Amino acid sequence: MAGFKIAILISGRGSNMAALIEAAKAEDFPAQVALVLSNREDAQGLATARAANIPTQVIKHGDFEGREAFDAAMTEVLAAADVRLICLAGFMRLLSPEFCQRWRDSLINIHPSLLPAFKGLNVHERMLETGVRIGGCTVHYVRPAMDEGPIIVQAAVPIASDDTPDTLAARILEQEHRIYPLAVRLIAEGRARTAGGMVALDSFELPEIRLINPPTQ
Ligand code: GAR
């Protein structure tokens, strides 16, 4: 089994978590999912993780005095699990600057837009209201400001005139499930490094990394 341990942090459905768990089943995948951590005990994704025999833990943010104390409790659990990379996957809590610094360059997030456009919530509604023709998704290293940080992989999704927030979200989600495992692979294989506020990718001869939309693997 791969020695590069990752943790996945969820608050809800956990479909990106499921995509990572599924990808990690492949023999050549360079990372293993060592822990799924949730701030909500009712997160749907917890059942999915348990069914896949992945260790899970719940740390309820409401049990703590403030953000720093909650984040410190997560850091303790994550350090004990010996993880090299933390993947936020629909984890709907802002993280303290201390947490972001402690895990700097070992903490990544997925967001359903082509960042830096459309940070924040209700992304799909806002894209339709704004009239942009192309949406997409981004995996990026986390910095203290919300949905900010060096970009690792993106995929573009054309927007149709009859799209609703739900139909658009579903098509973007399909791409999220492709680029999150790709980003984890690049990092675990040591092919992605932060440099000057951006991510430098090694092995640039690999065509799938240069393309906007990676082909199905
Ligand atoms: C995903 O679309 C993810 O990109 C988004 O939440 C959804 C979680 O779905 N994350 C953010 O908006 C972070 N700013 P999932 O629980 O099925 O993976």
Among 61, 111, 140, 177, the one annotated catalytic: 111
Q: Which of 110, 140, 180 to mutate to test the pocket of ligand 1 (most atoms within 8 A of CB)?
A: 110
| Nearest CA-CA partner of 21 in 91, 77, 89 | 89
pLDDT for res 217: 46
Domain limit, last residue, from 103, 133, 164 = 103
Confirm whether 140 is a catalytic residue. no
Same domain, 122 and 70: no
Nearest CA to ligand 1 atom 2: 112
Residues 6+ apart with CB under 8 A from 112: 123, 124, 135, 137, 169, 172, 173, 176
pLDDT for res 103: 98
| Nearest CA-CA partner of 192 in 106, 89, 115, 81 | 106
Domain limit, last residue, from 84, 103, 122 = 103
Average pLDDT of adjacent 10-residue blocks, the chain of 217 residues: 90 98 97 98 98 98 95 98 98 96 98 97 98 96 95 93 97 95 94 90 59 52
Residue ranges lining ligand 1, Cβ < 6 Å: 10, 12-16, 89-90, 110-112, 147, 173, 176
Total count of domains within the chain = 2
Same domain, 161 and 199: yes
Domain CATH for 211: 3.40.50.170
Residues 151 and 186: their CA atoms lie apart, in Å, by: 12
Range of the domain at 172: 110-217
